[in-house]
């Protein structure tokens, strides 16, 4: 087995940006809904379209085979088909157009990878195994979901940040106070 690539984690602002999803099944439906929730302008191209995908608001659906030109103008492409040849065609078109391609459950055809995601208000944690062990990423996500404090802690951290800015507290002095506040809040919740 080859060594996994070292990946650069990024959080993409897809608000108003064109994203193409190739595939029309349950996984494509879930990915498309996540993209709509992120504010992307989503277009789906697939031969077969799941009923839930066809009725999801904010998604333009084209029921037909993928064509290389479909990637034009997209900021990101998600290949979510169960057809290895189609996955490869999408990845090749993306590579030529210099567009990142998330090829779901298909690391050899991916130039970007989705991760297991944990959200708590404005806090987002993404976990990746470079496409090598998706089940492990899911397990880690579930552990983190249990370990993270509720959104109230985010509010407390935000208030501390404002206090530090007002008092001009040096960055090097902030971490200890944040840890102490976290411990105190956790102690009160027990």
* Residue with the two structure tokens 């189609």: 86
Give the length of the chain: 190
**Which value, to the nearest 10 degrees, does the dihedral of the CA atoms of residues 14, 16, 22, 28 take?**
70
DSSP 76-139: EEEE--S-HHHHHHHHHHHHHHT-EEEETT-GGG-SB---EEEEETTEEEEE--TTS-HHHHHH
Task: Report the distance separating Cα 62 and Cα 47, nearest Å.
Answer: 8
Write the pLDDT tens digit of every residue in 109-120. 999 988 888 888
Residue 15 pLDDT: 97
DSSP 25: S
For the segment 38-57, what is each residue's pLDDT rounded down to a tens digit?
A: 999 999 999 999 998 888 88
Share of the chain above pLDDT 90, in %: 54
pLDDT at 145: 86
Return the CATH superfamily for domain 18-114: NAD(P)-binding Rossmann-like Domain (3.40.50.720)
What's the fold here for domain 116-148? Double Stranded RNA Binding Domain (3.30.160)
Average pLDDT, the chain: 89
Is 98's pLDDT higher than 90?
A: yes
């Amino acid at each position: 087995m080859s060594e996994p690539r070292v990946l650069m984690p990024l959080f993409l602002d897809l608000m108003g940006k064109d994203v193409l999803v190739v595939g029309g099944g349950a996984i494509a439906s879930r990915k498309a809904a996540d993209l709509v929730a992120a504010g992307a302008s989503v277009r789906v191209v697939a031969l077969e379209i799941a009923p839930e995908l066809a009725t999801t608001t904010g998604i333009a659906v084209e029921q037909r085979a993928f064509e290389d030109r479909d990637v034009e103008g997209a900021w990101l492409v998600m290949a979510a088909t169960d057809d290895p040849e189609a996955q490869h065609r999408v990845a090749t078109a993306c590579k030529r157009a210099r567009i990142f391609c998330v090829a779901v459950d298909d690391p050899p055809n991916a130039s970007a990878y989705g991760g297991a995601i944990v959200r708590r208000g404005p806090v987002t944690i993404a976990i990746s195994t470079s496409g090598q062990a998706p089940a492990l990423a899911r397990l880690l996500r579930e552990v983190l979901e249990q370990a993270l404090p509720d959104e109230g802690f985010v509010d407390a951290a935000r208030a501390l940040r404002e206090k530090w800015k007002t008092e001009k507290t040096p960055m090097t002095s902030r971490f200890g106070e944040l840890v102490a506040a976290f411990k105190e809040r956790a102690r009160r919740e027990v």
